[in-house]
Amino acid sequence: MTISVAARVDKNIAFDESNALEVRARRLAMRFSDSEARDILRHAIKTEFPGRIALVSSFGAESAALLHLVAEIDPATPVIFLETGKHFAQTISYRKKLADRLGLTDVRDIAPAAEAIAESDPGGDLWKHDADACCTLRKVEPLSGALGEFDAWITGRKQFHGGGRLLLPAFEAAAAHIKVNPLIRWSKDDIADYAEANDLPAHPLVAQGYPSIGCWPCTHPVAEGDDSRAGRWRGAAKTECGIHGQ
């Protein structure tokens, strides 16, 4: 699926200090609205934010292609993995296998503070009662701390995921950062073709019916033909973990 983002980007937005980040993001989004993922990434890593950008990866079902693209440009690019303490064992082993295979030298496992867990989720079952609070505790707050040294971060979000992702631009302002979304126009087939062409290992749960993989309590397999994110927070109105609301 290809969705133009140009209509969403207003190149005439007025600049003042209060909206400098927004203006910068919109200008970048306009400039790279038709660019290939590799060109977007190379510009972001090497030119626009050198030494000030990280990739945030779940090491999930669709992660390998973006990790490979980043590794080709600079394998020392920091990669943030949110170690929620609730991942499938297969994800933890895949994270190690993929990082080794791609030669990534700066993968950071970012866990919630022990004091915060002791205070807010001592029994480890907050996800059962309040998934939003659990995601805030185990993902949003740790990521916020980890991003402090960076000006920008790279995401793997794609327009075909639907919902709020349908009109994603390649660059967007988010709080104190610019988010770079190089794969916005990639389809499921593009991801599969890229993985095959580069002999990238698949997450072991994909073959068991998991097209989107997060924490084990909130991830279920989906039926053939279902939306790829239908197994996330199944039965709840929740569709995002909250890290993209920062």
Query: Active-site residues: which are they?
Result: 241
10: its two tokens: 């207003």
Q: Is 101 helix (H, G, I), strand (E, B) or coil?
A: helix
Q: Is 241 near ligand SF4 (CB under 6 A)?
A: yes
Cβ 142 to ligand SF4 shortest distance, Å? 10
157: its two tokens: 């979000």
Q: Is 127 near ligand SF4 (CB under 6 A)?
A: yes
Per CB under 6 A, the list member of 26, 42, 68, 139 interacting with ligand SF4 is 139
Cβ 155 to ligand SF4 shortest distance, Å? 16
Q: Is 243 near ligand SF4 (CB under 6 A)?
A: no
* E-only strand ranges, the chain: 53-56, 79-82, 107-110, 152-154, 171-174, 177-180
- Ramachandran bin of 225, using left for φ above 0, alpha for ψ from -120 to 50, beta for the remaining angles: left
Per CB under 6 A, the list member of 26, 43, 86, 157 interacting with ligand SF4 is 86
Per CB under 6 A, the list member of 57, 77, 84, 159 interacting with ligand SF4 is 84
Cβ 244 to ligand SF4 shortest distance, Å? 13
Residue written as token pair 């009109």: 167
Question: Which residues in 198-217 contact ligand SF4 (CB under 6 A)?
Answer: 214-215, 217
Sign of the CA dihedral running 183, 186, 187, 188: negative
Q: Is 177 near ligand SF4 (CB under 6 A)?
A: no
Sign of the CA dihedral running 36, 38, 39, 43: positive
Q: Which residues are at the interface with ligand SF4 (CB under 6 A)?
A: 84, 86, 127, 131, 134-135, 138-139, 214-215, 217-218, 241
